[in-house]
Structures are given as structure tokens and as C-alpha cells.
């Protein structure tokens, strides 16, 4: 029922009604109803009564709860994320009042994630799985002969005098068993202590981990990851198509920059830590599309003995370095069922082509689903492999 309020004055009664007392009563009633103040009040009361009845009939306990819908089509391992994406990773780094991505070093951010019983905590809705077989830890970095002094006191990767490269030395050893190989890279690590530890400690050692170069305590995270058997990539922020509206940080590789500027930024990024076998991309649609920029990038990585593993953005780019491109981003749609569907599609690709690589981001739901999926791979006739095993020149 619609209630309409008019600014026009109400019409007065045309003439008094006949019929004695009854007529007088009717006249008074009509007069009251035509009074603008009384009419408005009555309409308001009628509206409120109708609304209350509707609520009682169709009561929804969550009707008053705020609802926020975010477009998740651009969220992924290395794709553009909406404002507040760090907060979506979990509260571990924010409960102490620190800025997003900042770790509380007064406590030990590298301490194992455990519950009161000493077991890794299970996220809400996560199924109980057998302990993860991560295998032996990898050698601590840096290895002798594979570094040289870099900017700001850091160490840069180099090719050793005997020809050894970091792409080989820091990759996780892998022995194929003849089954189709499937790999997953989890990126965005180091920005949130809780999810970073969860990825390191609860995912199989064959899962490759990619760390943000701006992360606090980066070397400690890489050391911890390698101690748990994970090979490591270092993310390289590259110019996206919507730069500068979307700015990945002060050391973003810009397509139009002079080659020496690109090399200078790369050297700063690479000197942040040691122990990674290659670089991965963070964003980069515009940079990857530029021939000169990519030639400079590839030449720098070749000179330093590094591999390059991307999220699929540079799939058409070849190069004189060990290369692998993801066949799909597994968490473009941030829901458990959607991630499971992408992982099944990876299996299909591996069965058809002999190998497949997926790329994901360090969201709790991604970590949970990948852990559950990886546990069942042997029974489905596939071999979980580190990304380095799929990288070829």
C-alpha cells in the first residue's frame, strides 16, 4: 500500500449533513479527517503498523547485518586486489595494532603455528588431514660462491666460478616417477605472519612459495621456508596496465624506464635476501608487453643465473633462462568450491600434457584447499612437483 502526502490543503466539508445528532457526529468526523495534521498523523501510524506486521511475517535474523560485496574477479596470486586485501589475509599481524603487513618482532613471528595441544590450528571449515610430509629441509642460504656484495649491504646472486647457478642450487631436488607432474606456486608471502607460517608449515614441501620483496624479516621467512623443504621465489613488482593508479611500490619495474634504471631496481630487489632460485612477477601487464623492458629483464636474470616463473601473464614470452608460466590462477574466484574446480582443471591439464602449473595467493582458504588437494594426488595417479621441475629454457 502506498501512502501519498500532498502539499495541497485538505478540502472542507461541502455542507453540514442532516439527521440530528447522528448527522452532527458524522460532520465532526468528516471535519477531523479533512484536517491536514490529523490526516498526516493517521497515515504515518498506518505506515508504521504495516511495516511492523511485515517484519513479523518475514522476519530475517540477519536482515540488519551490513553486507559488503567485493569484485573478486581480479584477485589472484599476483593480480590486482581491492583495497584492504592485506586485512583479508587474517588478523595475525593486526591484533597488536601494527600496520597491515608489519610483523610484531617483539614476539617470535617465526615460531611454529600451534594450538594448545601442540598441533597446527585448523581454520574454520578445514577438514582434518594427516600430517604433511615435507621431506628433508633444504640447505641454508647463502651457499658458497653464489653471492656478491649488492646495494645497501645486501647480497646479489651470481654464477659460481664452477658454473653453478642459483636456479639449480636453490631449487628443490626432484626425481620424476613417470606420472604426470602438477605444481602450485603460492605467492604474496611475508606480508602476514600468521598466513605465512601456515603456508610454510602446513603445505607439502613440493609447493613452491613466493615472497614479497617488501616483507619485514624477509631472510628469516626464506630460511624458515627452506628449512621446511620449500623452494622459494622472490616476487618482482612490475608495471600494471593501470599504473600509476595502481602502484605496486617504489621499486616497480617501469616499461618506459631506461635499461640501467631497470637493472638498478632489479639489483635492489634481488639484494633483499638470498636463497631463492628465481623471480616471479607481481602484476606487470604493461611491463611484460614491452620488448625492450623484457629483454633487459631476461638479460639480467641470465647474467645472475636465475629462473623466472610467472602467473601466466608472460606465457608468450620466451627467454634464455629457465622459464615456467602458470596454466591458471587457482583463486581468481575466492571460494573453496571455485578453488577446488581450478585444481581439478590443473589435474586434467597435467594428464593431457604431462605437466601443469597453478598460481595462487596466500589467502587462508587457498592454503586450506591446496593442502587438502595435494594429499590426494598420489591416489589419483599424479606427482606433486616443485615449480623448478617444470621450468625449461
Domain assignment present for 22:
no
Under DSSP, the state recorded for 50 is H
Domain assignment present for 51:
no
User: Which residues on neighbouring strands pair with residue 357, listed in sequence order?
Assistant: 183
Domain assignment present for 105:
yes
Domain assignment present for 10:
no
DSSP string, 257-308: S-HHHHHHHHHHHHTT-S--SEEEEEE-HHHHT-HHHHHHHHHHHHHHT-EE
pLDDT at 151: 87
Is residue 180 within 8 Å of 382, Cβ to Cβ? yes
Give how many domains the chain has, as a whole number. 1
CATH of the domain at 91: 3.20.20.370
**If we measure between CA atoms, which residue out of 362, 182, 189, 175 comes closest to residue 276?**
189
Domain assignment present for 16:
no
Domain assignment present for 279:
yes
Neighbours of 283 (CB within 10 A): 27
Domain assignment present for 375:
yes
Is residue 314 within 8 Å of 325, Cβ to Cβ? yes
HSE at residue 162, side-chain half, CA atoms within 13 A, is 6
Under DSSP, the state recorded for 13 is P
**If we measure between CA atoms, which residue out of 281, 277, 316, 273 comes closest to residue 297?**
281
pLDDT at 124: 34
Torsion sign, CA atoms 239, 243, 244, 246: negative
Q: Which letter, b or e, does each residue of 249-281 get, where b requires 16 or more Cβ atoms within 10 Å of its Cβ?
A: eebbbbbebeeeebbebbbbbbbbbbbbbbbbb
Helix (H) and strand (E) counts in the chain = 10, 11
Burial (CB < 10 A; 0-12, 13-18, 19+), residue 89, is buried
In terms of residue numbers, what domain contains 225?
87-137+146-390
**pLDDT tens column, 55-72:** 344 343 333 322 222 222
The rounded distance, in Å, linking the Cα atoms of 311 and 282 is: 8
Question: Coil, helix or strand for 236?
Answer: strand
Low-confidence ranges of the chain (pLDDT < 70): 1-133
**If we measure between CA atoms, which residue out of 61, 84, 60 comes closest to residue 71?**
84
Phi, psi of 237 (to 5 degrees): -70, 125
- Using left for φ > 0, alpha for ψ between -120 and 50, and beta otherwise, residue 293 falls in alpha
Q: Say if residue 142 is preceded by a cis peptide, omega within 30 of 0.
A: yes
Amino acid at each position: 500500500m502506498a501512502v501519498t502526502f500532498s502539499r495541497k490543503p485538505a478540502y472542507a466539508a461541502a455542507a453540514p449533513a442532516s439527521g440530528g445528532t447522528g448527522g452532527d457526529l458524522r460532520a465532526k468526523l468528516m471535519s477531523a479527517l479533512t484536517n491536514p495534521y490529523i490526516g498526516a498523523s493517521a497515515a504515518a501510524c498506518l505506515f508504521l503498523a504495516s511495516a511492523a506486521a511485515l517484519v513479523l511475517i518475514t522476519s530475517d535474523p540477519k536482515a540488519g547485518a551490513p553486507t559488503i560485496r567485493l569484485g573478486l574477479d581480479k584477485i589472484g596470486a599476483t593480480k590486482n586486489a581491492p583495497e584492504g586485501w592485506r586485512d583479508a589475509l587474517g588478523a595475525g599481524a593486526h591484533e597488536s595494532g601494527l600496520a597491515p603487513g608489519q610483523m610484531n618482532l617483539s614476539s617470535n613471528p617465526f615460531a611454529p603455528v600451534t594450538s594448545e595441544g601442540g598441533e597446527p590450528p585448523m581454520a574454520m571449515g578445514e577438514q582434518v588431514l594427516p600430517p604433511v610430509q615435507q621431506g628433508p629441509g633444504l640447505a641454508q642460504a647463502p651457499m658458497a660462491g653464489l653471492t656478491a656484495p649488492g646495494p645497501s649491504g645486501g647480497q646479489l646472486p651470481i654464477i659460481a666460478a664452477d658454473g653453478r647457478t642459483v636456479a639449480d642450487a636453490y631449487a628443490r631436488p626432484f626425481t620424476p616417477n613417470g606420472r604426470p607432474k602438477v605444481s602450485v606456486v603460492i605467492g604474496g608471502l611475508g606480508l602476514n605472519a600468521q598466513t605465512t607460517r601456515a603456508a610454510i608449515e602446513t603445505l607439502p614441501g613440493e609447493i613452491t612459495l613466493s615472497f614479497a620483496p617488501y616483507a619485514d624479516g624477509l631472510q628469516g621467512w626464506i630460511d624458515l621456508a627452506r628449512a621446511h623443504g620449500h623452494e622459494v621465489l622472490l616476487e618482482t613488482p612490475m608495471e600494471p596496465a593501470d599504473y600509476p593508479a595502481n602502484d605496486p611500490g617504489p621499486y616497480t619495474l617501469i616499461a618506459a624506464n631506461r635499461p640501467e634504471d631497470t637493472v638498478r631496481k632489479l639489483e635492489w630487489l634481488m639484494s633483499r635476501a638470498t636463497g631463492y632460485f628465481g623471480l616471479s612477477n607481481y602484476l606487470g601487464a604493461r611491463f611484460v608487453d614491452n620488448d625492450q623492458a623484457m629483454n633487459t629483464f631476461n638479460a639480467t636474470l641470465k647474467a645472475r643465473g636465475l629462473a623466472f616463473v610467472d602467473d601466466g601473464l608472460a606465457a608468450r614470452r620466451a627467454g634464455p633462462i629457465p622459464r615456467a608460466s602458470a596454466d591458471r590462477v587457482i583463486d581468481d574466484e575466492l571460494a573453496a568450491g571455485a578453488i577446488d574446480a581450478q585444481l581439478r582443471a590443473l589435474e586434467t591439464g597435467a594428464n593431457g600434457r604431462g605437466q601443469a602449473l597453478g598460481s595462487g595467493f596466500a589467502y587462508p582458504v587457498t592454503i586450506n584447499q591446496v593442502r587438502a588437494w595435494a594429499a590426494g594426488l598420489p591416489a589419483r595417479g599424479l606427482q606433486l612437483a616443485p615449480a623448478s621441475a617444470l621450468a625449461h629454457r
